[in-house]
Chains A and B, each alone.
Chain A
Amino acid sequence: MNELTQPQSFFLERFGLSERVFEKVLDTALERKADYADLYFEWRSSEFISLENSMVNRTAKNVTQGCGVRVCAEDRTGYAYSDEITVERMRLAAETARLIADQSGGSRQPVAVGQLVPRHNLYALKTLPQEVPAADKVALLDQIDQVARRIDSRVKNVIASIATETKLVMIATSEGKLAADLQPLTRLNVTVIVEAGGNRQVGFFGGGGRVEYSYFLEEDRWRRYVAEATRQALVNLEAVDAPAGEMTVVLGPGWPGILLHEAVGHGLEADFNRKRASAFSDRIGQQVASPLCTVVDDGTLPNRRGSLNVDDEGTPTSRTVLIEKGVLRGYLQDRLNARLMKMPLTGNGRRESFAHMPMPRMTNTFMLAGDSDPEEIIRSVKYGIYAANFGGGQVDITSGKFVFSASEAYLIENGKLTRPIKGATLIGNGPDVLKRVSMVGNDLKLDEGIGTCGKNGQSVPVGVGLPTIRVDGLTVGGTHA
C-alpha cells in the first residue's frame, strides 16, 4: 500500500515535521492570552475528466497543500495560512494568528502533543479512486455517451464527468491531541440535453461518495444514472406551467431532504444561535415540528459523501438528534461555539480547506422513517404537487425563509400524479414548515451523493435524506396563477 494510507507519517516525512515542531509552533501561537490553538495540515490531489459533444476532451489535475494556524481567545479567532509547509512559515503564521489575543500573557504549561484521537473507520478503501487509470474513466464516459444516445433519438447532447479526490488532513491541537485522516471522494455526473420540435430540456443525475471507483460499475449503477438523467429530460419535454400559490406538497424520498438542510439544518448551526441571529435561537425544548418528525445529523454513516472519521478540528463525528418527535433538541457544534455555549462537541467543525477557518457545518442530515405507505400519501392529496427531484436551495437564517427548487415535479389531482410540471422554486418558513408535516412515509432514502453545501464562501460535501412526506401548505413558485 502506498504512503497516502498513512496520513500522519505522510505529513511528518514529506515536510520534515515532528511532534516537537508542532509544540514549538503551538507555544508561539499561545504566547499571548489565548484559550486554544491548532494546526491544520492538508494535502489534496484531485482529478477531473469530462465529456461533452461525444468527446472526452477535458482533463484536469490539481494538487494543493498548506497549513493553517488558528488561535482562539474568548470569541475571537486569529487565522493565518500558507501553501508553503515549512517551520518558518508556520511560525510566521502563528505570530499573525495570535494578534487577536491580548498582550498580557497568562501563565501556561508548554504544549505536549502526542495524544492520538480515536477516530471512526468509515471509508477504508482497497484502491483509491484516483489510482484507477484515467483511461478506464475515459472509456466509461464514452460508454455513457453512447448509451444515453441509444435510449432516445431526442438526446442531443450528453455532458458527463468523473471527479475524484484524495485528501489527507492532520490536526494538532494545543490540548495535545493529534488526529489524521485520509478522505477519498468520488462523483459521477450525467447531464442529458434533449430536443424535440424546438423544445429543449435538461435532465441531471449523479452520485458517489467516499467509495471505490468500482462502486459506479456495481449493479450497473452508471447505467441507472444515465437512464435517470435521460428520463428526467424527456419528462420535462411534456411539462406544463407549474401552479403558483400555497398548496399541499408531497416530497419524494432521498434528495428532497434538501428541505431539512435549508429549513432547519443551517438554522441549528451553533454559530448563528450563539449570536442569536437564527430564527431558531433560544428555542431548544420547544415544539418546532409535527410529532411525526425526528431529524438527525449523522457523520458516521459508512462511505457517505457527508461522513468523516474526524471533523476538521480533530473531533470524531457523531450522530446528533436535532429534532425529536417535533421538539428541538440540539445544535451542531464546533469547538469555539461549544466552548462559549458550554455545550458538548458534536464533531461538526468543518472547513473547505487549509485556507479557511472551521465553522459548524452539517454532515448527513435526514428525517427518520414514519409509518405511512408512500402510495397512500399521494392518494391522500386532492390537489397539490409531488416533487421528486430538486436542484439547489438556500436559506436566510435570520428571517428563517428558505427556498429549494424542484427539477422534476408532477401535479397531484384527486390522489393521482397527472401531468409533469416545469421546475419551480418552493418557499417556506423554517421554524414553521415542519409543523405542517402531516404524513411521513416508511421509505427513508439517503441521497445518491451529490450534495455540496455553501456557507460564508466555504463549500463542503454533505448528504441529505428523507422519507416521502406530506406538507400541508408550502408556497409553490410557478407561473400559473
Chain B
Amino acid sequence: MKAVSDFNEQQDIALAQWGLERACDYGATAAEVLILSAEAINAGVRLGQVEKLKNSRERRFGLRVFVGQSSACASTSELEASGLKRFIEETVALARITARDPWAGLPSPELHPRAIPDLNLNDFACGLIAPEKALELARRAEKAALSFHPAITNSEGAEFNSSRHLVVFANSQGFTGAYQGTSYSLVVVPIARSDSSMQRDYWYTASRHFDGLDDPEQVGLTAAKRALRRLGARKIATTKVPVIFEPEIAAGLLRTLANAACGDALHTRASFLVDKLGEEIAAPTVTVVDDPLMPAALGSKPFDGEGVACKRKVVIERGRLVSYLLDSYSARKLGLVTTGNAARGVGSPPSPAPTNLYLEPGNYSPEQIVRSVKKGLLVTELIGFGVNLVTGDYSRGAAGFWIEEGEIAFPVEEITIAGNLKRMLLDIEMVGNDLQWRSSVASPTIKIAEMTVAGS
C-alpha cells in the first residue's frame, strides 16, 4: 500500500494557530483547537480465508470557543479555508446563545505542562502494519484456535488492527502541544460446538508497540480454551453465594467505579459516590490508581483534553475514596482542582475519564481465591447494561463456572448476578496477584463476599 502523505505536525500547529486567531477575530474571548489525524488498517480472516481488509484516513478540526462565560464546541472535516472560516464564525455565534455559566472557562494557565513528557507512545519502527502482514498475523492466531481441539469447529474470525494518530492541541492562552501514538491489537473469536450446545468466546492482545503484543498463537490458544470450557453450560438454582470476578470482568467493575467517580456524574448528582470523598467506600484490600504517565501504556497521554499536565493519582487508598476524576469545569463546580482527567472527542466538550486505571494487586493467586470458596460462582462474562450509577443498583447477565468445595465444577449460563455497588465494593474480600495490562483499565481477580445469583 502506498503511503499517501505523512502526518504534518508543523502544518497542523500552524492551522491550529490560524483557527485561534480567526475565533478571536469573530469575538471569542478564549478558544481551543484540537486537530486529530489518524490512519488505520483493519484486517480480518475467517476460517483461514481473507474476510475483510479496511484502510482509513481521517483529519478533523475541533474547536471550543468562549464568549465570556458562554461556550460552544464544534468539529469539521471540511478543512478548506473559506469553509473553515464560516465554520468558526458559526461556532462563535453558537456560543453566544449558550447560557453564561460561572464555572466555564479554560484551565488555569499554570496547569499546562512546561515541557511535554515523552511517554514512548509511538512505535516509529513499525508504524502502520502492511495489509499482508496484518492478515498473516490474524491467520496465525485463528489457526492456533481452530487446531486446538476438534470441538472448535467454527469461528467468527480473527482481526488485526493497526493505527497511528497525531494530536495537535493549542489554546488562546499560549499553550501548544502535540503528540503521536500508535496502537496494535489482535482478537480471535472461535466457536466451540457439542451435540447440544454452541459457545463462542474471544481473547485479545493490545499494545502501543508492536513488540508488546502477545504471540498470535498464544492469543488463539487462549481464545480456544475459553470457548471450549463453556460447552455444556447450564442454569443453576437461585441462590446467594460468594462471587469471583476474573480479571477482565473485574476491570469492567473498575470502569463502572471510575464513571461514578467522574466529576460530571458528581456535580449533576447522578452518582452513588456523591459527597463520599474522604469516606471508606471499599474494603481495606482495595487501592485504585489512575496513572496517565505510564510509559508506552494504552491509556497514557502527556496532557489532557484541556492541555492540563497529567499526573498519577490514587483514587481509592486502602478502601478510602481520596480523589475524584476531574476536568476543570467539574472541579470548579465541586470546589476542587482538576486532576488532569479531561478527555474529549474532537467535537465534544471535555469531560472527565480515567486514563490507565488499575486495582493494585493483592497477595492471593487466582487458584487460592477459587479454593477459598465452598459453593460459589466464578464469573467470566457479563452482558447487558444493568448498572444504575445513581443508586449503585447492579444486576447483569452472567456466564461462568460453578465452584464446589474449592474446585471448578461445571460451566453455567443464563443467570444474573445482582447487588448494590456500595455493598459490593465493601465486600471485596480477596484481591488476586494476577494484574496484567491488556487494555487501559486493568484488575487482578477479585472475590466479592456475597451476591444474589438468579437462575431457575
Q: What is the interface residue range for chain B against chain A?
A: 35 or more
> Whole-angstrom distance from the CB of B241 to the nearest CB of chain A?
10
The stretch from A33-41, A310-318, A386-394, A443-451 touching chain B is: A386-394
A153: Cβ under 8 A from any B Cβ: no
Is the Cβ of A59 less than 8 Å from the Cβ of B268?
Answer: no
Is the Cβ of A427 less than 8 Å from the Cβ of B414?
Answer: yes
A126: Cβ under 8 A from any B Cβ: no
A214: Cβ under 8 A from any B Cβ: no
**Inter-chain contacts of A77 with B (CB < 8 A):** 51-53
B456: Cβ under 8 A from any A Cβ: yes
| Given contacts A63-B75, A429-B414, A477 and B454 within 8 Å (CB-CB) | yes
> Whole-angstrom distance from the CB of A407 to the nearest CB of chain B?
8
B56: Cβ under 8 A from any A Cβ: yes
A331: Cβ under 8 A from any B Cβ: no
Name the CB-closest residue of A to B91: A61
| Given contacts A394-B383, A401-B397, A57 and B53 within 8 Å (CB-CB) | no
> Whole-angstrom distance from the CB of B61 to the nearest CB of chain A?
10
Is the Cβ of B238 less than 8 Å from the Cβ of A62?
Answer: no
Is the Cβ of B269 less than 8 Å from the Cβ of A200?
Answer: yes
| Given contacts A53-B268, A193-B268, A398-B191, A92 and B4 within 8 Å (CB-CB) | yes
B143: Cβ under 8 A from any A Cβ: no
Name the CB-closest residue of A to B197: A399
Q: Which listed residue, A59, A97, A195, A475, touches B416 by the CB 8 Å rule?
A: A475
> Whole-angstrom distance from the CB of B5 to the nearest CB of chain A?
11
The stretch from B16-24, B162-170, B319-327, B388-396 touching chain A is: B388-396
Q: How far, in whole Å, are A157 and B414 apart by their CA atoms in the complex?
A: 37
**Inter-chain contacts of B414 with A (CB < 8 A):** 401, 427-429, 475
Is the Cβ of A403 less than 8 Å from the Cβ of B396?
Answer: yes
> Whole-angstrom distance from the CB of A104 to the nearest CB of chain B?
16
**Inter-chain contacts of B233 with A (CB < 8 A):** 399
Is the Cβ of B270 less than 8 Å from the Cβ of A202?
Answer: yes
| Given contacts A403-B396, A477-B396, A479-B419, A61 and B101 within 8 Å (CB-CB) | no
> Whole-angstrom distance from the CB of B153 to the nearest CB of chain A?
9
Is the Cβ of A244 less than 8 Å from the Cβ of B49?
Answer: no
> Whole-angstrom distance from the CB of B264 to the nearest CB of chain A?
9
Interface 0/1 of A253-288, CB less than 8 Å to B: 000000000000000000000011101000000000
Is the Cβ of A405 less than 8 Å from the Cβ of B395?
Answer: yes
The stretch from B92-100, B298-306, B335-343 touching chain A is: B92-100
**Inter-chain contacts of B60 with A (CB < 8 A):** 64, 83
Within 8 A of A (CB), among B398-456: 399, 413-420, 452-456
B209: Cβ under 8 A from any A Cβ: no
| Given contacts A53-B267, A77-B51, A93-B55, A138 and B397 within 8 Å (CB-CB) | no
Q: How far, in whole Å, are A92 and B270 apart by their CA atoms in the complex?
A: 48
**Inter-chain contacts of B268 with A (CB < 8 A):** 52-53, 157, 159, 193
Is the Cβ of B455 less than 8 Å from the Cβ of A475?
Answer: yes
Within 8 A of A (CB), among B1-18: 1-2, 4
Q: How far, in whole Å, are A272 and B225 apart by their CA atoms in the complex?
A: 22
Q: How far, in whole Å, are A255 and B72 apart by their CA atoms in the complex?
A: 33
**Inter-chain contacts of B131 with A (CB < 8 A):** 96, 99
Is the Cβ of A60 less than 8 Å from the Cβ of B197?
Answer: no
Is the Cβ of A357 less than 8 Å from the Cβ of B386?
Answer: no
B50: Cβ under 8 A from any A Cβ: yes
> Whole-angstrom distance from the CB of B51 to the nearest CB of chain A?
6
The stretch from A107-115, A176-184, A417-425 touching chain B is: A417-425
A134: Cβ under 8 A from any B Cβ: yes
Is the Cβ of B50 less than 8 Å from the Cβ of A100?
Answer: yes
| Given contacts A76-B49, A79-B52, A134-B94, A61 and B395 within 8 Å (CB-CB) | no
